[in-house]
Amino acid sequence: MDASEKIKVLIVDDHKVVRQGLRTFLELQEDVLVVGEAEDGQAAVEMVRQLNPNVVLMDLVMPRLDGISATRQVKSLGSNVKVIALTSFTEDDKVFPAIQAGASSYLLKDVSPDDLVDAIRAAHRGEARLHPDIARKLMEQVTRQADSRRDSPAEDITEREKEVVRLVAQGRSNQEIARELVISEKTVKTHVSNILGKLQLQDRTQLAIYAIKKGLVKLD
C-alpha cells in the first residue's frame, strides 16, 4: 500500500514504554503509518500542526498540557483529525470532559491490540468507538437527565430527523450527512439544532447515546 493511502497516526503519551509498545504493534499494520510521538499535550498540538495526522491516540494525564486541553486545541485547529482518548481512567471527570472536548472515541489502555486497530480504522471513517464501561456511563448520564425532565417530555422527532440522528450517531460530519440525504449542509445544521432542542440534549455526543438507547443504531 502506498504511504499516502495509509492512516497517519500520532501517538501521545508521557510514558516512553507505552509509546514504544503502541508503535511496535501499529507498524505491523499494512494500512497504518505512525508519523510521530509526543510526550505531552503541548508537543502533541504542535505535531498535529506540522504532521497533519488522520488519528491521534491521546493520553489524558500528562505534564505541561493534559490530554483534555490538548484535544480541545487540536479540534480547534479546524482539521479533520480524529482524537481517540486512550487512558487508564474511567472517572467521570475524565470521561465527560474528554468527549466534550472533541474525542471521537474513548478507550482504556487494556484494550486488545486488534480492537485498538479497529478503533483507529473506525475513527478514520468518522465512526466512534467506546469502551463498554464508558458507553454505560454515558447512557446512565442520559437516563438521569431524562428522568430529571420527565415532567416535560420531549417532542417526538420526525422520520427525517431520525435519519439525521442515526447518521450523527455513526459519527458522520454535517457534510457527509448532507451528501447521503441529498440536502444542503445548512439544512443538516438546522435539523441537528432542532433535534437537540426537542430532546433537550446539549451536544452530538448526548444525541448519539440517545440514538443507541432508542435502537436507532447499535453499539459495536
Give per-residue pLDDT as tens, 78-91: 778 999 999 988 88
pLDDT surpasses 60 at 148: no
Residue at 219 is within a domain: no
Residue at 218 is within a domain: no
Q: Longest Cα pair distance anywhere in the chain, in angstroms?
A: 57
* CATH classification of the domain holding 202: 3.40.50.2300
What's residue 214's pLDDT? 74
Residue at 177 is within a domain: yes
Length of the chain: 220
- Last residue of some domain: 129, 157, 183? 129
Judge if 17 and 78 occupy the same domain: yes
Judge if 107 and 38 occupy the same domain: yes
For the segment 26-32, the average pLDDT, to the nearest whole number, is 95
Judge if 124 and 195 occupy the same domain: no
> Is the separation of the CB atoms in 39 and 14 below 8 Å?
yes
Judge if 117 and 150 occupy the same domain: no
Domain that holds residue 106: 3-129
Distance of alpha carbon 162 from alpha carbon 194, whole angstroms: 12
Residue at 220 is within a domain: no
Judge if 171 and 205 occupy the same domain: yes
pLDDT surpasses 50 at 151: no
- Specify the long-range contacts of residues 104-110, CB closer than 8 Å, at least 24 apart: 104/128, 104/171, 105/129, 105/130, 106/130, 106/131, 106/134, 107/131, 108/133, 108/134, 109/18
Judge if 85 and 145 occupy the same domain: no
Q: Which of 44, 137, 109, 51 is nearest to 83 (CA)?
A: 44
Judge if 87 and 193 occupy the same domain: no
Judge if 77 and 158 occupy the same domain: no
What's residue 135's pLDDT? 73
Judge if 142 and 78 occupy the same domain: no
- Between 155 and 124, whose confidence is greater? 124
> Is the separation of the CB atoms in 9 and 53 below 8 Å?
yes
What residue type is assigned to position 137 of the chain?
A: K
**Per-residue burial over 134-158, b = 16 or more CB atoms within 10 Å of its CB, e = otherwise:** bbebbbebbeebbeeeeeeeeeebe
pLDDT surpasses 80 at 155: no
* Tens-digit pLDDT profile for residues 162-218: 899 888 888 888 999 999 999 999 999 999 998 888 888 888 888 887 787 777 765
Instruction: Please give the share of the chain, as a percent, with pLDDT higher than 90.
Output: 49
* Tens-digit pLDDT profile for residues 42-59: 999 999 999 999 999 999
- Specify the long-range contacts of residues 92-98, CB closer than 8 Å, at least 24 apart: 92/137, 94/60, 94/61, 94/68, 95/134, 95/137, 95/138, 96/141, 97/68, 98/60, 98/67, 98/68, 98/71
- The x, y and z cell numbers of residue 107, run together, are 478507550
- Last residue of some domain: 94, 129, 164? 129
> Is the separation of the CB atoms in 87 and 60 below 8 Å?
yes
Judge if 27 and 101 occupy the same domain: yes
Distance of alpha carbon 52 from alpha carbon 163, whole angstroms: 32
- The x, y and z cell numbers of residue 49, run together, are 500542526
What's residue 146's pLDDT? 55
Report pTM: 0.65
What's residue 145's pLDDT? 59
What's residue 153's pLDDT? 39
- The x, y and z cell numbers of residue 106, run together, are 474513548
Judge if 31 and 107 occupy the same domain: yes
The H or E element that residue 37 is part of is strand 32-38
Based on the structure, what is the number of domains in the chain? 2
Judge if 117 and 10 occupy the same domain: yes
